[in-house]
Amino acid sequence: MRVYLDNAATTAIDSEVFDAMIPYFKEFYGNPSSQHSVGRDVKSAIEEARKKIAQLINAQAGDIVFTSGGTESNNTILKAAVRELGVKHIVISAVEHHCVLHTAEYLEQAGEIRLTVIPVDEKGKISIDQLDKVLSESNEKTLVSIMHANNETGVMIDIEQIAQVCLHHNALFHSDTVQTFAHYPIDVQSIPIDFLSAAAHKFHGPKGVGFFYMKKSSKVGSLIHGGSQERGWRAGTENVAGIIGMAKAAELAYEHLEAERFQIKNLKSYLIQEIEKAIPHIQFNGAIDDSTSYRVISLSLPPHPMGSLLLFQLDMQGICVSGGSACSSGANIGSHVMAAMNIPAERIPLRCSFSKYNTKSDIDILVEALKNLYSV
């Protein structure tokens, strides 16, 4: 039996989502850019999916651009904001996903922007006062890009408060909501946000598809050129089945939002309770209250003779967890998120992330395995 507790990396596709996608592999196979009826039928399905996703965040259908996922969305927003909206200053936190961090660093190294990186405290939080100070001292057109929930720790920002600070200073605001879209309600009419990005595989949809939202007053151009797809904002034949699956997954997630949140929060509380009893001197990276995503818990395990190989030992026992971001696996460097939070290097980070498919039995198996490893 396999225990999967790495849902911040990716989630299992929902069977209803898979069923919704199948016809777009077999029956509705037309190119949506074609002028004939086979293509027009597919184009109509894409536009219905766009409308559905837009409605979920209280946006207009024309504000949604389909992409290959969060990384492409974030790259497009940052680069196009610089090259088309005249942004000369980008502000990020020290714990951004690498697709934001590395893109901002690339733009700085190319001499296109000035980059400000705001540190976080030991709980992984940025200082709103420091952000306010940075923006008050900036004389250039500025884009603030801060993720809604950190992918390694689950630490969340007050997205509305940060949006208001940006609005006060006339700065553009982008949030990477890859870890929160379809898990938390987001209303782009009540939150003055210019851009947000999401990826389907984080909410039981398919991999390789995502979207970004952009406010009408902050429209950017294409990162990928070569065709007029996505109203000219993203060239390339659309991932039709993926888009249909993403819309279905989002619809299902919103339909069961509160019930799944209740279920998963109980699992997280149960893990906290059981692991504190089982492992002496365990610590938590970030807060374990409602200021952290209910889907993620980041543990700091005591030093162990196996070191990071502890995770491989768990894998050998059929338990899938993570030491941090899946996007950084294989890199021979420590987590920049843990370093920014001043987590001692000798401690072993372990991220557990939950979905609607997890049970208390999964928690029991993980805790028992860790207890046995630390009792040897």
Cβ atoms of residues 245 and 20 within 8 Å: yes
pLDDT digits (tens, 9 = 90+) for 15-25: 999 999 999 99
pLDDT digits (tens, 9 = 90+) for 48-99: 999 999 999 999 999 999 999 999 999 999 999 999 999 999 999 999 999 9
pLDDT digits (tens, 9 = 90+) for 317-340: 999 999 865 555 544 467 999 999
Phi, psi at residue 46, to the nearest 5°? -60, -45
Query: Which contacts of 254-257 are long-range, i.e. CB under 8 A and separated by 24 or more positions?
Result: 254/56, 254/182, 254/185, 256/356, 257/182, 257/183, 257/185
Strand partners, 198: 211
Chain CA centroid to CA 81, Å:
20
Tell me, what amino acid is at 333? I
What's the pLDDT score for residue 330? Answer: 47
Which candidate, 326, 363, 261, 350, places its Cα nearest to that of 3? 363
DSSP code of residue 326: G
Whether residue 47 has pLDDT greater than 70: yes
Give the tokens for residue 337.
Answer: 């998120």
Residue with structure tokens 């941090």?
A: 324
Pair type for strands 172-176 and 142-145? parallel
Strand partners, 116: 91
Residue partners of 19: CB distance under 8 A and separation at least 6: none
Cβ atoms of residues 134 and 118 within 8 Å: yes
What's the pLDDT score for residue 324? Answer: 66
What's the pLDDT score for residue 126? Answer: 96
Confirm whether pTM is higher than 0.75. Answer: yes
**Average pLDDT for the chain:** 94
Q: Could you give the residue numbers annotated as active site?
A: 327
Residue partners of 211: CB distance under 8 A and separation at least 6: 53, 64, 65, 66, 67, 73, 197, 198, 246
SS3 readout for 319-339: EECECCCHHHCCCCCCCHHHH
Q: How far apart are the first and last CA of the chain?
A: 23
What's the pLDDT score for residue 235? Answer: 83
pLDDT digits (tens, 9 = 90+) for 1-14: 799 999 999 999 99
Tell me, what amino acid is at 61? A
Set out the domains of the chain in order of their start, with CATH numbers.
3-12+257-375 (3.90.1150.10), 15-255 (3.40.640.10)
Tell me, what amino acid is at 260? E
What's the pLDDT score for residue 308? Answer: 78
Phi, psi at residue 89, to the nearest 5°? -140, 125
Mean pLDDT of the 340-357 span? 93
Residue, of 299 and 287, whose pLDDT is higher: 299
What's the pLDDT score for residue 327? Answer: 56
Tell me, what amino acid is at 306? M
DSSP code of residue 155: B
pLDDT digits (tens, 9 = 90+) for 174-191: 999 999 999 999 999 999
What's the pLDDT score for residue 219? Answer: 75
Rounded-to-5 percentages of helix, strand, coil across the chain = 45, 15, 40
What's the pLDDT score for residue 340? Answer: 94
Give the rounded percent of residues in the chain with a pLDDT score beyond 70.
97
What's the pLDDT score for residue 44? Answer: 96
Strand partners, 23: none
* Axis-axis angle for helices 98-109, 70-85 (nearest 10): 30
Which candidate, 298, 290, 284, 288, places its Cα nearest to that of 261? 290
How far apart, in whole angstroms, are the C-alpha atoms of residue 173 and residue 96?
14
Pair type for strands 195-199 and 3-4? unpaired
Strand partners, 320: 4
Q: How far is CA 273 from CA 167, 267, 299, 359, 368, in A?
A: 41, 10, 13, 15, 13
